[in-house]
């Protein structure tokens, strides 16, 4: 019991404190996604790890068609964007991490948050969350391709990008690497 509790604390700490590292060769995000009649292209991803345990992979997607990658600005959210989170371990905490709660709860109505929290508590290894933002429409959350809720406006996606990608998500080195892809 104590070792299980200790492992859960380590995983929880990694979710809060761990850095997203470049995706390893043995875990890869799909190159293309098709969700709600929108085609998406994978642009970058990383794996949240702690003490050699891969927790989840977070991947950033942009529309298949649209503006060239170098003109996309995640700080303004004038373009569609999707974030795909794949759970890579079965050792998840038995409650939603505070950082997820603090990021998501203020952005959505209570009913949608309760639905998200219920979905989080049932997550298992291999489950996939996709947050999809379409300008002028909403930020939608899908769990294993099933819509959990849609929140109007960009607020939820802005909070997610700030939390998972950072306020300056595209460095010049990363942009050059992605353009060579």
Digit-coded pLDDT (tens) for 74-116: 566 778 889 999 999 888 878 888 888 888 898 888 988 888 8
**Measured distance CA(42)–CA(28) in Å, rounded:** 10
Tokens 């959990």 appear where?
148
pLDDT in tens, 28-61: 788 888 888 888 988 888 888 867 888 889 898 8
Q: What is the pLDDT of residue 26?
A: 52
Whole-number average pLDDT of the chain: 75
Confidence of residue 13 (pLDDT cuts 50, 70, 90): very low
Asked whether 22 and 46 are in contact (CB, 8 A), the reply is: yes
Give the total number of structural domains in the chain.
1
Q: What is the pLDDT of residue 165?
A: 66
The secondary structure of the chain as a DSSP string is -HHHHHHHHHHHHHHHHPPEEEPPTT----SEEEETTEEEEEEEEEEEEETTEEEEEEEEEEESSSS-GGG--TTTT-S-EEEEEEE--S---SS--HHHHHHHGGGS-HHHHHHHHHHHHT--TT-EEEEEEETTTEEEEEETTEEEEEEESSHHHHHHIIIII-SS---HHHHHHHHH-
CA 107 to chain centre: 15
Confidence of residue 15 (pLDDT cuts 50, 70, 90): very low
Verdict on whether the full-model pTM lies above 0.85: no
Q: What is the pLDDT of residue 131?
A: 94
Q: What φ, ψ does residue 104 adopt, rounded to 5°?
A: -95, -45
Higher pLDDT, 176 or 148: 148
Tell me which residue range forms the domain holding 114: 2-180
**Measured distance CA(90)–CA(127) in Å, rounded:** 10
- CA-based nearest residue to 154, from 168, 169, 133: 133
- CA-based nearest residue to 58, from 138, 130, 137: 130
pLDDT in tens, 120-156: 888 999 999 999 999 888 999 999 999 989 999 888 9
Confidence of residue 167 (pLDDT cuts 50, 70, 90): low
Residue 16 has pLDDT above 80, yes or no: no
What CATH number is attached to the domain comprising 85? 3.50.70.10
Percentage of the chain beyond pLDDT 90 is: 17
């Amino acid at each position: 019991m104590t070792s299980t509790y200790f492992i859960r604390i380590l995983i929880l700490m990694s979710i809060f404190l761990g850095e997203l590292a470049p995706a390893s060769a043995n875990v890869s995000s799909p190159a293309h996604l098709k969700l709600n009649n929108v085609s998406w292209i994978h642009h970058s991803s990383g794996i949240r790890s702690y003490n050699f345990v891969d927790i989840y992979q977070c991947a950033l997607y942009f529309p298949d068609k649209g503006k060239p990658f170098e003109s996309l600005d995640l700080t303004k959210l004038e373009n569609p964007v999707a974030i795909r989170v794949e759970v890579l371990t079965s050792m998840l905490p038995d409650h939603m991490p505070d950082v997820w709660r603090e990021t998501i709860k203020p952005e959505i109505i209570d009913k949608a948050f309760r639905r998200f929290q219920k979905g989080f508590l049932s997550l298992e290894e291999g489950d996939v969350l996709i947050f999809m933002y379409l300008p002028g429409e909403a930020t939608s959350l899908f769990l294993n391709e099933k819509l959990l809720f849609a929140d109007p406006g960009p607020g939820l996606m802005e909070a997610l990008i700030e939390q998972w990608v950072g306020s300056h998500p595209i460095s010049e080195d990363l942009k050059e690497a992605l353009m060579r892809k």
